[in-house]
């Protein structure tokens, strides 16, 4: 469902941005599959004397193409998008352009999502409900070479720092559990024994601190271990 962030309310149809040398402006690329978000950012940026919106993209593949075409100073990247996810786009862009500065701007607050994005190469991770001034400040700080992480996210990441991570095999089982499969069905789909499935389920519950399979799925979704798109 499209998110209408607070900074959208600050959009102005007529720009009061003074004429300035665009070469000195922070050149920005926005990547989000919701036009309302892109329009909100465009309306916010257009009144900033030190910023210039140079491109927009609606999915990860377009993001890579637009980055190559415009070489922005700062990219605002959503995570959940069609065709190619934000994390995969970040990896591709940073692989080709190691100095790329990217801020994740999303609704996802799970610690696993945050860590995954930062490991991919993002320098900032912000939630879409932040005030417009905070977004502008973040853009300027990232452009200056700093890193940004919303305070509430810092606490979330820290609270799970010592947790034992699920293995890829356990995540595969967890996804099938979320799809409503019983152990026998999971075993058949993964070509493993039911005993192996039971062992992995036991590990999943232990690592997530869950009492049952339903709670495990709920925790995994909240933390970003599995995603709704995966279901």
Same domain flag for 174 and 155:
no
Same domain flag for 69 and 155:
yes
CATH number at residue 27: 3.40.50.2300
Same domain flag for 29 and 112:
yes
CATH number at residue 216: 1.10.10.10
Same domain flag for 39 and 136:
yes
Is residue 97 assigned to a domain? yes
Residue 41 has pLDDT above 60, yes or no: yes
Is residue 1 assigned to a domain? no
* SS3 label, residue 130: coil
Residue 231 has pLDDT above 50, yes or no: no
Same domain flag for 93 and 12:
yes
Confidence (pLDDT) at 110: 78
Is residue 146 assigned to a domain? yes
Average confidence (pLDDT) over 149-176: 77
d(CA 110, CA 22): 37
* Helix 183-190 / helix 168-178 crossing angle, nearest 10 deg: 130
Residue 206 has pLDDT above 50, yes or no: yes
Domain span holding position 214: 168-230
Of 33-37, 59-63, 112-116, 192-196, least confident by mean pLDDT is 112-116
Structurally, how many domains does the chain consist of? Answer: 2
Average confidence (pLDDT) over 85-90: 94
Average confidence (pLDDT) over 145-165: 72
Alpha helices in the chain (DSSP H): 35-45, 60-70, 86-96, 111-120, 132-143, 151-159, 168-178, 183-190, 194-208, 213-223
Q: What percent of the chain has pLDDT over 90?
A: 58
Average confidence (pLDDT) over 4-13: 45
Sheet holding 51-57, edge to edge: 51-57, 26-31, 74-77, 102-106, 124-127, 148-149
Is residue 47 assigned to a domain? yes
Taking a C-beta distance cutoff of 8 angstroms, is the pair 230, 179 a contact? no
Same domain flag for 45 and 99:
yes
Same domain flag for 12 and 122:
yes
Average confidence (pLDDT) over 92-103: 96
Confidence (pLDDT) at 22: 53
Residue 81 has pLDDT above 70, yes or no: yes
Same domain flag for 182 and 102:
no
Same domain flag for 61 and 148:
yes
Report pLDDT digits (tens) over 124-146: 999 887 768 889 999 999 999 99
Confidence (pLDDT) at 128: 84
Q: Retrieve residue 73's tokens.
A: 């100073």
Same domain flag for 139 and 212:
no
Q: Is 206 exposed, middle or buried (0-12, 13-18, 19+ CB in 10 A)?
A: exposed
């Amino acid at each position: 469902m499209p998110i209408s962030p607070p900074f959208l309310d600050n959009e102005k149809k007529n720009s009061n941005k003074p004429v300035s040398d665009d070469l000195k402006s922070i050149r920005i690329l926005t990547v989000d599959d919701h036009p309302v978000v892109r329009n909100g950012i465009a309306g916010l940026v257009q009144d900033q004397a030190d910023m210039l919106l140079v491109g927009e993209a609606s999915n990860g593949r377009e993001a890579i193409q637009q980055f190559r075409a415009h070489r922005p100073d700062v990219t605002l990247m959503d995570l959940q998008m069609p065709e190619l996810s934000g994390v995969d786009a970040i990896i591709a862009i940073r692989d080709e352009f190691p100095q790329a500065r990217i801020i994740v701007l999303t609704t996802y607050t799970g610690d696993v999502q945050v860590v995954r994005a930062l490991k991919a190469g993002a320098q900032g991770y912000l939630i879409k409900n932040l005030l417009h001034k905070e977004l502008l400040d973040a853009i300027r700080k990232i452009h200056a070479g700093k890193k940004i992480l919303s305070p509430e996210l810092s606490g979330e990441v820290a609270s799970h720092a010592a947790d034992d991570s699920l293995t890829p095999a356990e995540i595969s089982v967890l996804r099938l559990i979320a799809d409503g499969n019983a152990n026998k069905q999971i075993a058949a789909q993964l070509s493993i024994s039911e005993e192996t499935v039971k062992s992995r389920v036991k590990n999943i519950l232990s690592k997530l601190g869950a009492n049952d399979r339903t709670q495990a799925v709920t925790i995994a979704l909240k933390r970003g271990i599995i995603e709704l798109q995966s279901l």
